[in-house]
Amino acid sequence: MNNFSIRDDVWKAVAEFRLPPTLWFGLVAAPAMYSARFENGRWGRGELVPYGPIEMLPGARALHFAEQVFEGMKAYRVGRPNANLFRAADNYARFRRSAERIAMTPVPEALFFEGIEAVVGVCTPFVPDHSGQSLYVRPFLFGTEPGYAVRASTSARFMVIANPSEAYAAGAMKVMIERDQVRAAVGGVGRAKTGANYAASLLASTRAVQSGYTVALWLDPNTRRNIEELSGMNLFAVIGGELHTPALNDSILPGVTRDSLIALAHDAGRRVVERAMPIADLLQQVSSGECSEVFACGTAAIVCPISVIGDADGREYRPAVIDQEARALRERLLAIQERRAPDPHGWIREVAPLVRSG
Ligand SMILES: *Cc1c(COP(=O)(O)O)cnc(C)c1O
């Protein structure tokens, strides 16, 4: 017996849904979504409904104060009847911390998993099953109370939507160092997964794209000397044969993929150096060849090589090796995610399909 209700028209939406031949990343909406409301100090009963427009008051704080946090995770189903999530408990822990950082009432863990498992369960037939493909799952929480009082919203909505997707394929990325703007402030919300950080990044990212790059590379807001991350991915460099990555701080988003790569490297007996990484040093090390390879990681793209680092003065730095360490790590991680390799860290959570009863 479910705690949530299933609207009758969900079954029709699910029965009529067909996976299109081309999925891309995040462009195809799964036919069902989950929604639960927080009102008068308590969470109401969740509901599984067909994917479609939602109604909210135009004064809702999410639209005015960016009172919004989200997560991104993937469900895989390669060669198996049931879908499985990857490190969903870590996504929940971060979702909770993100909500707390912007004074929102966190979603209880049971409700979070109810929503995720309802959507993944009912969409199990639409979890694409070729290697690299997945159902991208997007839980999010937003403030719905209207009005401009500067305090946390007393009402909120938790939703889960999903997208059958290909691996986010950016190919080898060209990144542009952003010397002027910052993505996140000292003491700000950079460590929280909130849309506000993306808003702050869009102008530089748009300019980077207009100049022929894939995305901006952010420096720390305090000194503008140290590398932080890309707009939605963490960064690694292979220096003297060792893996280096910026140490986490207040303005870096602690990626689950970043943490997973560190664990995989440790499993293989390799050292990972987490430290402040001055951009000047990295550029010099790329030029000298001491830094052989640079790559980024995140749930969407998994592990993605970087072929060019562009600077504001027009200079470009090209690591000698593209996609060697990155590829090895990507394949090891994907093998665990797709359950072709053992799961020594207990990262996999299987989801039972949700089918119509009676
Ligand atoms: C989500 C995100 C990442 C990557 O985190 P994963 O948990 O690995 O997907 C990195 N940076 C930012 C700013 C993000 O929003």
Q: What is the mean pLDDT of each run of 10 residues along the chain (358 residues)?
A: 89 96 92 98 97 97 96 96 98 98 97 98 96 96 94 95 86 96 96 97 97 97 97 97 97 98 96 98 98 97 96 97 96 97 97 90
Q: Is 234 in the pocket of ligand 1 (CB under 6 A)?
A: yes
Q: Atom 1 in ligand 1: which residue has the minimum CA distance?
A: 232
For a mutational test of ligand 1's pocket, the pick from 233, 297, 347, i.e. the residue with the most ligand atoms closer than 8 A to its C-beta, is 233
Q: Is 233 in the pocket of ligand 1 (CB under 6 A)?
A: yes
pLDDT at 167: 78
Crossing angle of the two packed helices 88-101 and 256-267, in degrees rounded to 10: 140
pLDDT at 171: 83
pLDDT at 358: 62
pLDDT at 202: 97
pTM comes to 0.97
Q: What distance in angstroms lies between residue 87's CA and the mean position of ligand 1's atoms? A: 14
Ligand 1 atom at minimum distance from 183 CA: 13
pLDDT at 10: 97
Cβ proximity of 138 and 161 under 8 Å = yes
Q: Is 255 in the pocket of ligand 1 (CB under 6 A)?
A: yes
Instruction: List 173's β-bridge partners, or say none.
Output: 306
Rounded to whole angstroms, what are the CA distances from 128 to 60, 132, 171, 209? 35, 9, 21, 30
pLDDT at 357: 83
pLDDT at 313: 95
